Structures are given as structure tokens and as C-alpha cells.
Structure 1
Amino acid sequence: MKKLLHLGSALLFLANTVFAQKTIPPALNSIRTEDLKKDLYALADAHFRGRSAGTLDELKAAMWLGEQYRSIGLKPAGDDGTYFQYFTLWRNHLDDRSSIAINGKALTLWDEVAVSQMANSMLDAPIVYLGNATEVNLDAVDVAGKVVAMEANPEGINSNISLPTWRYGRSIFAKYGLPLVRKGAAAIIFVADETAEKAWADAVENYKLGSYDIDGGPNEHVTTTVPVMWLHAEAKEKLRQNNATLQANLLIKKYPYPSVNILGVVEGTDSRLKSEYLLYSGHTDAHGVRNEIKNDSIYYGADDNGSVDVALLANARAFVKNPGKRSVIFAIHGAEERGLLGSRYFTAHPTVPLAQVVAVLNGDMIGRNTPDSAAVLGVIPPHRTSLELVNMALEANREGPNFKLDTEWDKATHKEGWYFRSDHLPYARLGIPSLMYTTLLHPDYHTPQDNAENIDYPKLKKMTDWMYRTGWKVANTDQRPASEKDFKLER
């Protein structure tokens, strides 16, 4: 009996050992918290001045990342035998020669008047004041060819969203301005309410930047061909008399900046599968130097998205140490914050055949919030591109970090619509199985307080492990993850 018990114990031990070998990727121990921390303190340092897209700061950070690729041992996967794929970033910017006046009195641009939507325009026309936005019958009002003005109102506008000071003006325009543009308004003026006044400084920093796009298609954030302007609340008394006129000469300059994707590859070991690719995705840029918040003006972008970039470096070290059967590409995209421009460019100009990319594991902000919670987007239809890929990610979570997963942010009805705001999206739209790993938003999002000091490094390590565990499964499964039949994104 004792021999049978010993034999049973031995078999159980053997079974557990085999199971452990199946569920622990071979180079997991090469992912180290101290490496993640060292790399993130370097990438999110003031030296790179917030890595704003289209600036030397973004390019310097890209060179630093390329040097990390080289030292890790990745092979170049960019253009011309390099780690880099450069592309032209077109900025549409309001020319300094532009002028705006009311009743002949010139207004100081960005201080007394802000232009939230640009259009080349020369106007000298009366302003039709419609009153408070909530009192306007948008269906009945005749605005064709007119300059119309109304007072903003937060009623019905969801203020419980991320970046409310950045997005309030956009929300007001979508609710009240866009219908008037469709009805033929020549220009729209919003008079700031209390909410807009509080948001003015942050919003103006965004308006000053203008809009961005790449060759081959406009940025999806460009939504109108008529100018949209904001005035301070004090302008209401002048406008409500309906005898004011607008004189505006708005000129848009369009000029190019360079941006870049950083691309490295670990070749697979299987003669048949090495021509297929798993693609890890992050983005280089943050928001540069902007308006001061809490005595700092550098938007370091440690969580967004330095946390993912250093996780990709750690995953790269693991795959260099123990390659999988499939090849693995590490793509850190440029200009994500300008409208997913780097990932849009790569999917239009891939350096490997897109048909051979079997899955995309994208990350966006993976180093903050409660230690035991996280999310992966792309699990719930209509966002789900591949049930098989989802199952691999969920299994990897159970085998490793065992996070409590928040599924609310993955729903098509979620107010943030965050699935549509990161670099997996251009791949998913092509039907490539894609996921987005995240620990979700926090109050320091897009502020100078998103710095390396505020990262939860043990949690970042667990998220990095999870991405590696998933990637190891994808890189070694005999059959590529099947795409969802008739996949179609809805919003």
C-alpha cells in the first residue's frame, strides 16, 4: 500500500511538473522589475521633454528605443535595414496672420478668442445669436450661410469622462455645432459657460496644435469645413442684441514633420511558421511641454505609454533568449496621440506581409490603479476579432497574474469608447486578431503627474508577464488564431 501511495505521489508530482512546464514560458524569469523601472525612468525622463509627436524630442526617444533594440539583439525590421520606418506627419495649423474681430474690434487669438475647428475662411457677416444651446430647436432653425452663435450648456453632456477639460468643447460641438454645420452654417461661435471657462487653458493648448494627418487620408478627428470659435462669457451681452458682425480672416498652413515607427524582430525557429508573425504594439509619443499643472509643464507619459514600451523591451529580451516557433515583431508606433498615425501608416506600408501577421498584442497604460485589477479590450463583440486569441489571453491571465478583469470598458456602449483610441485599431479594422492590454485611466492621465515615480512597478511586472505569456502561446500554437467570421466593428 505504501509503495502504491508513493507511486501515486510520484505520478502526481510528475503531472504537476509537466503542467507547470506547459504553462510557464521558458524565459519568464528574464522579465525583471528592476529592468522595467530602469528603462522607464530613462524613457520618461525630462531629457525627452514629453516626446511630443513630430518633434525632435519624439525622434530622440525613438533613437533611444532603437538602441535598446540593438543591445537586446533584435534584428532590424524597418526600412533600409534599420529599426526605423519614417513617415511624414502633416500638421494643419492656424497661421499667425489670421485675424478675428467683432464690430471691427480685433480680438487676441487664444486669449480673447479660440478657434477649435479650423477652416480657410474670409468672413464679414452679421452674427445671428440663437441663445442658450438648450433652447435652440436645431431642426427648425434656418442657419444656411449664416454666422451663428449660442451659449454653451453642459446639460446632457457627460462630464464624467476622461480629460473633461480637453473634451468639453468637442462634446458641445458634436451635440450642438455639427447639426448646424450640416444645415449649412458659415461659421459657429460658442460663448463659454462656467464649464468652458474652467477648461479654457487646457482646451486652448489643444486648439493651438491644430490637426494632424498622414498621406493617404485625413485624420478622423477632422470633422468640419467651417470655422468654429469660442468667446468668453462676457461676450454674451454684446451678441444677444443681434447687431454684432464678425470679421474673420482665417488661414491654415499645412506643413510636414517627421515621425517614425521603431521595428525589430526575433525570427522564429520553425521552418514553416517562421514566415508568420506575432506583433507586439506600443507607442512612443506623449504630449510634450504644455500648460503648467501642479508646478510642472512636461507631460512625461510614463504610463501613457512608456509603461508599454518598456514592457515590450522586456518581452523582446525574453524572446531573444528563447525564440518561439513564429517570428515576433516589436512595433513601437509614432504619433499615436495625433490620431493613431504611426499604426495607420504601418498598416498602409507594412514591412512584412500583413496577411502573415497572425495576432496583435497592443498595450496602452499598464502601470497604475489597484494592484489586482486590469482589463483587456477586444474580448466582447463587436470588438472581438478572434475568440481563440481571447481564450489564450484569458488562459494566460489565469496561469499567471490572475487579475480581476474589468469588462465594462470593452463594451461598445462604454462612454469612453477607448477601444477606438489605441494602436490595435488599424489592425483590427483589417480583421487581424487584436487585443489591447490596459490597467485603465487615472487622474494623472495626460498631465505632468504621469511620471515614472507614480508607476506601480510590481503591477507593471505582472502586466508584462501577462503579455509575454499570451505572446508565447500565440508564437507556438500549431494553427494561427482564427479570425471572427464576418467581423465588423460598430460604434
Structure 2
Amino acid sequence: MKHHPLYAFALIAAFSAGCAKTPTTSTPAGPVTDAAQLREVAEKYGNTITAADLSKHLHIIASDEYEGRNTGEKGQKMAAEYIAREFREDGLVGPVKTGSNPYYQTFDLEKSQWGEGYITIGKQKFLMGQNFYVLGGSPFQAEQTVEVVFAGYGIDSDKYSDYNNLDVNGKLVVVLAGEPKGSNGNYLLSGTDKTSDWGNDYRQKRNAATKRGAKGVAIVMGGNATEFNSLTQRYKAYLSRPSLGLKSSAEAPAAATMFVSPAVGAALTGVTPEKMLAFAGDVTKAGKPVAAKFTAPKDIKVKTERISEPLPTENVLGYVEGSDKKDELIVVTAHYDHVGMEEDAEGDDKIFNGANDDGSGTVAVIELAEAFAQAKKEGNGPRRSVLFMTVTAEEKGLLGSEYYSENPIFPLANTVANVNIDMIGRMDFDYEKTNDSNYIYVIGADKLSSELHQINEEANQKYTKLKLDYKFNDENDPNRFYYRSDHYNFAKKGIPIVFFFNGVHADYHKASDSVDKIIFESAEKVARLAFYTTWELANRDNRIVVDSNKK
């Protein structure tokens, strides 16, 4: 899951590549297209997904040899080759028509690192990495003069907009972090004590500024230098390390996002920090957007140099074509990348094997793919086509799934649902207290389709009998897991999703996320639940409805 493991393990007998295959029986004259008949044979294929096979695969891709599967590096390429070979040997088709490998959707990420960065205002000079931080790309590769406009909280919604009568085209917009409250203490946007995405997700403000034509948005963090340093501590590491992203389109690059100290924000707007921050009180008193009477200096220059190079990577795709409803598609996903190696990690273990995150989901997808391919060989479906896709660069910001959602191999309009598996076969902090591994967190199934939620519930009741925990499905869940794995890039396109997740534990993103800690019997049950839900989605008579619009 978005946001490093090691011990020496003996690889399974003779480094066996792939699961034992179910013997192929003679193929009937034509495929079965009756939903009831296909439900009757579902368990036959679900039972081919076993703890032993999951273990066999995971001991390979989460071994030290794969070096933590960091995006674009040797281990990730090895994992891609392994997954593609499994798909091919199991009889899945490589659906990609371009490139040399039909199982790879290849694309270039942009590997970039910050160079020189500063803001000068008259004789004052503020340094990147000290007084401000930048996320994403930069339109200020060389020093340039920029016009600055203050836009309140940077909110631009139907009920509240700081951009009314404000021209920000080509300018740097300075905004306050968070969102405004009314005199009763409730947030103005929600009318309650709950914040909205405008306060929780900086991208909302970046996107609003981009839409209005701004060159960049500077978000003022904290009320003083101490608070700013505390709130932005984690960004210091970003400046010293290369980062990955999708290349911005030349036609509509996103506005640069800067997190600036109150001193920088005040200097950019020509006032004192106290006066700038007092603006929040003015909005509270008015209960609506307020136009600030700030006059920005004229001699503002910005440079935030970004040094970039392309980094090739690939999503791995295996396709099982459907029968009578083959134009409709179910997509089953997991991310096969992890975070690689860290030379400065504590202890002797420098390799972050990512057995649970998300080697566990990856091997589940391999097993589901084999089960569906076997069913097809024996004339038992699926009626709808199923795309099994392990995606790259999830740890770098859900980039592989985002790339697919913007460059789909199959039309998104024909994509019925996404089943996403990220971290299974472990217990989180809560369930460890009672040593209960017979559960799974289910996230997002009811957000867009009530039928998807019901299908998953019924599959579990009939076959797997796990405790389905909806704790993290709450729209007010502060962890916001719904937004933190690959399914979200499908949900954003209006495609119903279900996300299977075991929660966070002490080994999350540490070198100790190792294969020996996976409870393969638990992973087997969850993988089978994902299989039965996918089976019903693929074989039922009617495509599931999109009838919900929950957050």
C-alpha cells in the first residue's frame, strides 16, 4: 500500500516457477453461458486457490533476489517477468497490441530531483528546503518574475469560492491551509465539525488553481516557524531523494504546489504574518468568502529547478476473454512494486521485501488468473471478460493504475467493476490483540454500486465465512484508505470497486515485512472471496448497476 523486509529464506523446491496446474479435461462443444450452471461449478475453481500455491509464489517474488521490487529497478523488472510468465503458462492472453511484449503495458515515468530553489522578494531571499517546499512539477525551471495574488483558502466550490472576481491566470496564488469555520465553530463548507476534502487534500487547492490558469499555488502552513517546521518535516526527505511521477501533459500542466512558512506567505502578499493569519478571523466573522486587501510586492522572483529523466516501467496484464458478454470487462488488480532497498535502514536488513505490501495481493491475482483460465479451458466461462493486472508504481502515488485509467487497453465504459487486493494474510494492530485472522476489511463496495456490496456479502456467506469489517469504509475514517490504493483510479472514473485489505501492522513499510509472517490460510480465504465475487460479477445475467454516489 502507498506510503520497506528481509530474512534469509530458502526458496521453494528447485525454485519452482508456477503453481501446479489442474489437469485439463475435454472441452465441451461450446462454453456454458447459463448463470445458474456457472454458479454450481464456482467452488471447483475457487478450491484451486490454495495456501501452498500462494506461498510458493510469494517466497519467490518477496525474496531478497527481487531487491524490494522498487519501481523501474532490477527487482521490479524481475517480478514483471515472473508474473507475465505465469500468465502465459496458465493460458492467459497478453492483450497489449503495441510494444514487444503483449503482457506489458509499458510507459515512462519521470524520475526527477530538485536542484537550486529560492524565492526573492526585494532584498529578501527564502530557500527551498528551508523556508518552503515544492511538490510535483515546477514551471520555474529558470528564475523568473511572477505576479502574486492572495486567494483566501484557495477554495472554489459551488457554495464557497475564493476566486470570485479574481484573475489568477499566469500568477502565483497564495492561500491558507485548511478551511474556514463559522462563528459557531463548524466548518462553513460542511456546516458540521467535519472537514471536507478542501481541508484534507492539498490537491483540491492545486487543481482549483490549475483550473483558473495559475502558474503555482503557495499554501501557508502553520501559524509560526515552529509549526511550519513540524508540519513540513516529512518533505525534507523528498528534496534530497529522486521522486517519480507521470509526465504532465504539455497542454495543461498542473500548477506548482508550494508549502510555505507564514513568513514567506506574508512577504509574498506584502503584509505581516499576523495580519495575513488574521484573515481567518475575518472569514469566520463574515461567514462567507472575504476579499483581502493585500497588495503584493512587484519584485518577486522564483526559481525551483527540477532535473528530470525518463524511467521506463510496466503494468503486467493477462486477459481471459469472455463468452456471450465478452465486450464487458472485470478488472482484478494488485500492485507488485514495493519500495526497494535502503542503505541507511536500521539494523542489518536493508531490503524491504514487501511480502504483505503487496506481494500478498500480487500472488492472489496470479492464483485467480489461473483459476479463471482453467475454467475457460473446461468450457465454464467466464461470460464477461476478465483482465488480471498487476500494476507498478503504487508506492509512488498510484501511478501505474492512474496510467491505465488514462490509457486503458479496454474501454472504461465497458469496465463493469474493479476488484483490488492490497495487503492480505496478516493481522492489524486491533485483530492481533485477539489473535483473530479470520477477517478482512472491505472498502468501497457500496460507494458506487449497492449490488457489488451485496454480491460480496453473499459470496462470503456462502463460501468463505470471514468477518467482513467495514470500519475503514466510513467516509470520515481519518486513514482514508479508500483513496490510498489502486482501485481509487477506477472509482474516480465511475467504475464500482471493492478493496480487500488486512490493515496496518508493526511491519508496514519496514524491512521486517517478510514472508514468514504471512498467514497463508488467511490469505487463501481472502483470495477465494475475491475469486467468488469476481466469478459472480463475470457470470451473472445483468451488469451491476451504478446506483450510489457515496464518498
Q: TM-score normalized by structure 1?
A: 0.70
Deviation at 1:248, TM superposition (A): 8.9
Aligned mate of 1:345, from 389, 398, 403: 403
C-alpha contact 1:285 1:334 (8 A) present in aligned 2: yes
Aligned to 1:296: 349
Identity over aligned residues, as a percent?
28
Q: Aligned letter for 1:30?
A: T
SS at match of 1:360: strand
Aligned to 1:209: 242
Aligned to 1:373: 439
Counterpart-to-counterpart distance in 2, 1:29 and 1:187: 53
Aligned to 1:412: 475
Aligned to 1:325: 382
Aligned to 1:275: 327
- Identify if the C-alpha distance between structure 1 residues 457 and 195 changes in structure 2 by more than 3 Å, giving closer, same or farther: farther
The answer to whether 1:285 aligns with 2:351 is no
Deviation at 1:317, TM superposition (A): 1.3
Aligned to 1:428: 491
Counterpart mapping for 1:128-147 below 5 A: none
SS at match of 1:298: coil
- Identify if the C-alpha distance between structure 1 residues 195 and 399 changes in structure 2 by more than 3 Å, giving closer, same or farther: farther
Counterpart mapping for 1:30-41 below 5 A: 30-41=48-59
Deviation at 1:280, TM superposition (A): 0.6
Deviation at 1:54, TM superposition (A): 3.0
Counterpart-to-counterpart distance in 2, 1:198 and 1:228: 11
The answer to whether 1:468 aligns with 2:488 is no
Unpaired segments ≥5 residues, structure 1 = 1-17, 125-138, 140-144, 149-169, 231-239, 241-245
Unpaired segments ≥5 residues, structure 2 = 1-35, 146-161, 163-170, 175-198, 263-272, 274-299, 432-436
C-alpha contact 1:213 1:219 (8 A) present in aligned 2: no
Report which of the two has the higher share of helix: 1
Aligned Cα RMSD in Å? 4.6
Aligned to 1:397: 460
Counterpart-to-counterpart distance in 2, 1:93 and 1:311: 35
C-alpha contact 1:89 1:214 (8 A) present in aligned 2: yes
The answer to whether 1:315 aligns with 2:368 is yes
Deviation at 1:339, TM superposition (A): 2.0
SS at match of 1:256: strand
SS at match of 1:464: helix
Deviations 1:323-370 (A, max 9, x none): 323221101111122222211221222212222222211111112104
C-alpha contact 2:221 2:231 (8 A) present in aligned 1: no
- Identify if the C-alpha distance between structure 1 residues 205 and 171 changes in structure 2 by more than 3 Å, giving closer, same or farther: farther
Deviations 1:406-436 (A, max 9, x none): 2120111110111111111121222222111
Deviation at 1:39, TM superposition (A): 0.7
C-alpha contact 2:445 2:496 (8 A) present in aligned 1: no
Counterpart-to-counterpart distance in 1, 2:258 and 2:231: 25
SS at match of 2:350: strand
Counterpart-to-counterpart distance in 2, 1:401 and 1:217: 49
Deviation at 1:60, TM superposition (A): 2.6
SS at match of 1:388: helix
- Identify if the C-alpha distance between structure 1 residues 360 and 447 changes in structure 2 by more than 3 Å, giving closer, same or farther: same
Deviation at 1:33, TM superposition (A): 0.9
Aligned mate of 1:90, from 110, 125, 129: 110
Q: Aligned letter for 2:66?
A: F
Deviations 1:97-127 (A, max 9, x none): 56899xx9x99997x8994647547599xxx
Aligned to 1:52: 70
Deviations 1:422-451 (A, max 9, x none): 111121222222111111222222222222
Deviation at 1:56, TM superposition (A): 3.6
Counterpart-to-counterpart distance in 1, 2:200 and 2:341: 25
SS at match of 1:300: coil
SS at match of 1:329: strand
- Identify if the C-alpha distance between structure 1 residues 172 and 260 changes in structure 2 by more than 3 Å, giving closer, same or farther: closer
Deviation at 1:30, TM superposition (A): 1.3
Q: Aligned letter for 2:528?
A: D
Aligned to 2:449: 386
C-alpha contact 2:105 2:315 (8 A) present in aligned 1: yes
Aligned to 2:420: 362
Q: Aligned letter for 1:375?
A: Y
Deviation at 1:59, TM superposition (A): 2.4
The answer to whether 1:264 aligns with 2:318 is yes
Counterpart mapping for 1:130-279 below 5 A: 204-207=236-239, 208-210=241-243, 212-216=245-249, 224-226=256-258, 228=260, 250-268=304-322, 270=323, 272-279=324-331
Q: Aligned letter for 1:423?
A: D
Counterpart-to-counterpart distance in 1, 2:67 and 2:260: 31
Counterpart-to-counterpart distance in 1, 2:133 and 2:388: 39
SS at match of 1:347: helix
Q: TM-score normalized by structure 2?
A: 0.63
C-alpha contact 1:280 1:329 (8 A) present in aligned 2: yes
Counterpart-to-counterpart distance in 1, 2:88 and 2:397: 28
Counterpart-to-counterpart distance in 2, 1:261 and 1:406: 30
Aligned residues: 420
C-alpha contact 1:44 1:451 (8 A) present in aligned 2: yes
